[in-house]
Amino acid sequence: MSTLTKYVFVQDDPFYLPKVLDKYLREFSDSTVGINVQSVTMGKRTVFRTAWELLRLYGPYYFQWKLRRFMWTRIKAKVCNDIFRSTSHCYSIRAVARKYGVPVDETESVNGEGFRALLREKGVELIVSVSGTEFYGKKLREQTPRGIVNCHGALLPKYRGLMPSFWTLANGEREGGVTVHFVGDKLDNGPIVVQRRYRIHPHDTLEDIMARSKDLAAEAIIDSVRMLERGKATLLPNDEGATCYSVPTRADVKRFRNHGHQFF
């Protein structure tokens, strides 16, 4: 088995992704040469526009609950992880990176020449994207010898695009999952490396599904990297029956509730 030099792109989510990254780095910290933390904004939207669209979509009750959790988690990260330098419980992506001694590299865009030069200097062979929010351009893909794999919170080729957990519930699915796939020239369209599935019950909330999805994501990512390093990955097609979704409307939220689901 050949050990690949790896790099991680990960969304700056304080709720679920620190745990996912912790599980990944527990296995691969010695061969991961850096981490880039990406914005939580949806697509090319600003933080303000993303917040406004979520408020309009979810309503004030769930929005303020989520915002209070976000702020409280940020405070704990600042006090526990940044001021006291504790990593016994990591409340941020950066704290997890520090726990395992993996550097965090800042950039405006991972597609920029300066950042791509940094990846070449580090000898990056495989990039692992965990809920990444940037589109990875042709030059970045071509300079990464073993490719870029992304973990998406749905059973591709269905539910490409934004907010897959919401759409899975809004469409009344009784099964959800996560997919680790290679990044191609279009959104969520590359060959599939690994999929993991879970059952959905009528009483499941959006928060339940997101938590379950992220738990499976860590396992799927680890399994994918191991298979790629062993050269034993059997890729699956990611095209037949593809669907793609964007930001929901209030009508979509009504349909979500009609299936018996709540946000939290």
Q: What is the pLDDT of residues 45-97, one digit of tens each?
A: 777 788 888 898 889 999 999 999 999 999 999 999 999 999 999 999 999 99
Q: How far apart are CA 2 and CA 26, in angstroms?
A: 18
Q: How far apart are CA 249 and CA 226, in angstroms?
A: 40
- Alpha helices (H) in the chain, listed in sequence order: 17-28, 47-58, 60-76, 93-100, 113-122, 138-143, 164-170, 206-230, 250-258
**Model confidence, pTM:** 0.94
Q: Domains plus CATH for the chain?
A: 6-258 (3.40.50.170)
pLDDT at residue 221, rounded to an integer: 98
Amino acid at the residue 216: L
Among 5, 25, 82, residue whose Cα is nearest residue 218: 25
Among 84, 92, 96, 133, residue whose Cα is nearest residue 111: 133
pLDDT at residue 1, rounded to an integer: 72
pLDDT at residue 42, rounded to an integer: 60
**Residue-by-residue DSSP string for 230-245:** HT----B---TT--EE
Among 257, 108, 95, residue whose Cα is nearest residue 169: 257
Q: Both ends of the chain: CA-CA distance in Å?
A: 43
- Exposed (0-12), middle (13-18) or buried (19+): which is 218, by Cβ within 10 Å? buried
pLDDT by position in tens, the chain (length 264): 789 999 999 999 999 999 999 999 999 999 999 999 998 876 667 777 888 888 988 899 999 999 999 999 999 999 999 999 999 999 999 999 999 999 999 999 999 999 999 999 999 999 999 988 899 999 999 999 999 999 999 999 999 999 999 999 999 999 999 999 999 999 999 999 999 999 999 999 999 999 999 999 999 999 999 999 999 899 999 998 999 999 899 999 999 999 999 999
